[in-house]
Amino acid sequence: MEEYNSLSDNKKYKILFVCLGNICRSAAAEEIMRVLIKRAGYEKEIEVDSAGISSYHQGDPADIRMRDHARCRGYEILHLSRPVCTDDFYHFDLIIGMDDYNIETLKEKAPNIACEAKIRRMTDYCQSKSVDHVPDPYYGGSEGFENVLDILEDACSGLLEALLSR
């Protein structure tokens, strides 16, 4: 699907998850991926982080509803929101947006073509869900948060499988 550096290059492979405010989708994706990486025994080989397009929630914990729904599934989201910065495009090997707006904004922020080539869509890694974006659950109810977690679990599993199969 994509070209990646090998996990055996003796350097950490770094992934950044991005959504609008970094308090729901990307923070959850970071924690889900962290748990999957730990279960697979690749904590030394893969690093994950998350950020937001907007700095509106900078320094805030993830939305309490997302933290509560994630906790029921065994995830503990401890990340504090931060905005995407130019250094992220150089530090991370893969930058994953949750929807079209995130993808387009990331492309606009990318300092060069090589950095832009690192940008991917979260749902491209889904294995069982047939969706084209991870919807923002912020203004919805419980079912929206559960749906987002379902999509992210599927996509994170697919992403890890893609990374390990190269």
The residues annotated with a catalytic role in the active site are 19, 25, 136
Radius of gyration of the chain (CA): 15
d(Cα 62, Cα 77) in Å, to the nearest integer? 7
Helical (H) or strand (E) element with 96? strand 94-97
Environment class of residue 33 by beta-carbon count within 10 Å: exposed (0-12), middle (13-18) or buried (19+)?
A: buried
Phi-psi region of 5 (alpha: psi -120 to 50; beta: other; left: phi over 0): beta
